[in-house]
Structure 1
Amino acid sequence: SIFVLLATIFALFVSIDALSCKYGEEYKCSNKVCERTCDNLGTDLVCDVPCTNGCYCADGFVRISHDRCKP
Structure 2
Amino acid sequence: MPSPRKHPVEQPVFRSLMLTSLFLGIVLLALNGPPSNGLVSVAALVLLAVFLVSFGLYWLAWVLREHELWREGRQDQGE
Normalised by the length of structure 2, the TM-score is 0.30
User: Radius of gyration: which is bigger?
Assistant: 2
Larger helix proportion, structure 1 or 2? 2
User: TM-score by structure 1 length?
Assistant: 0.32
Query: Greater strand share, 1 or 2?
Result: 1
